[in-house]
Amino acid sequence: MKRYYIVTLLLIVIISCGPKQRVIQKVQAGEVPAKLAILPSINLTNDVLGGFVIRNLVHHQFSLDSKNYSVQDVAYTDELLISRGITDGVLLSALSNLELCQLLGVDGLVFIDVYEMGMKTLPFYHSRYVDFQVRLFNFNRLVWQKPINIANRVMYIDGAIDAVNAISSGDYTKALTDAGVSVGIQTAVKLGIATLMEHELKPEFLMGVEELFRDFPYGNINNQNYILKFNEKLNLLNQQKEAKADLFLEDENFEVEEVLVDINESGITVW
C-alpha cells in the first residue's frame, strides 16, 4: 500500500502546478474594430516554427468564421511590414500601433504573444504544453485579450508501480528497464505526431485556437456608422503621415494601466 502511495504522491507532484501569474495591460473600454491584420507572432521561445503555425491557424480559423471582421491576408500584411524593415514579430515594437494601422490600412491589430511551448518526457510521464495570449487593438486601444495555456499529459501509472516494486525488492535493472520502455513509448508518440503534422504541437495549438475563438468578440464590419468613423480616422492618419507629422488621434489619448492576472490551465490528462 505504501508503494502505491509513493507513486501517487510522485505523480501529483509532477502534474500539479498552480495558475501562472502575469502582468498584462489592462483592457480599455471601446468598440471592437472592423478590419483586422493578424501580425507576426511575438515568439519568446526557441521554437521558431511554432509562432508561424499558431498565426496561420488563427488566420485559417477566421477564414472559416470571420466573426464579422474583414481579415487581411497575412501575405499582404507581411509584404507591407517588410517594406518598413519588419521581418519578425519581435520587431513590431519599432512602430507604434497607430503607425501599424496607417501602414496596413486597418483599424484592428491582432497580436499573438507566444511565451512557452514544448514537451517534457520523463519516465512514466509525458507532457505537451503551449502558453500564448492574443491581444486585440482598435487603433491604439486594447479592447480585448485572452491568455491561452494548454497542457496535455500522459501518465504511465502501471510502469511507475512496477518500477517502485522493483526498487523495493532491490531489482534496479528491472526498474531501469521499466522506465526506459516508458520513455521509448512517449518518444515514439512524439516522433509520430511530428511526422504526420506541420508541427508536433499542432494538436495543442488547435485546442488553443478553439478556446480563443470561443469568446472572441464579433466585429463591426457591418456597422456603417462605425465604418464612417474608421475611415475618418484612417484618412487623418494618412494626412499626418504625408505631412511627416507625429501620428495622433484625439480619442486615443489615455493612460495605459497594468494588472496582475492568473493564467489558468486547460487541457487533458490521460492515466
Task: Tell whether pTM > 0.85.
Answer: no
**Per-residue confidence (pLDDT) for residue 192, from 0 to 100:** 43
Give 120-144 pLDDT, tens digit per residue.
776 666 788 899 999 999 999 999 9
Mean pLDDT of 221-247: 96
Instruction: Give mean pLDDT, residues 89-105.
Output: 96
For residue 14, tell me if it sits in a domain: no
Q: Is 97 domain-assigned?
A: yes
**15: in domain:** no
> Is residue 7 assigned to a domain?
no
Instruction: Assess if residue 117 is contained within a domain.
Output: yes
Q: Is residue 17 part of a domain?
A: no
* Mean pLDDT to the nearest integer, 5-30: 63
pLDDT for the residue 29: 84
Decide if 114 is inside a domain.
Answer: yes
What phi-psi label fits residue 202: left (phi over 0), alpha (psi between -120 and 50 degrees) or beta?
Answer: alpha
Show the cell assigned to 34: 472592423
Q: Quick check: 205 pLDDT over 80?
A: yes
- Split at pLDDT 50, 70, 90, the class of 19 is low
Does 179 fall in a domain?
yes
Identify the CATH number of the domain in which residue 255 sits: 3.40.50.10610
pLDDT above 90 for 80: yes
Phi, psi (rounded to 5 degrees) for 44: -95, 15
Confidence grade of residue 169 (pLDDT, cut at 50, 70, 90) = low
Q: 116 is in which domain, residue-wise?
A: 22-270
Our count of domains for the chain comes to 1
Range from 14-18, 109-113, 153-157, 194-198 carrying the lowest mean pLDDT: 194-198
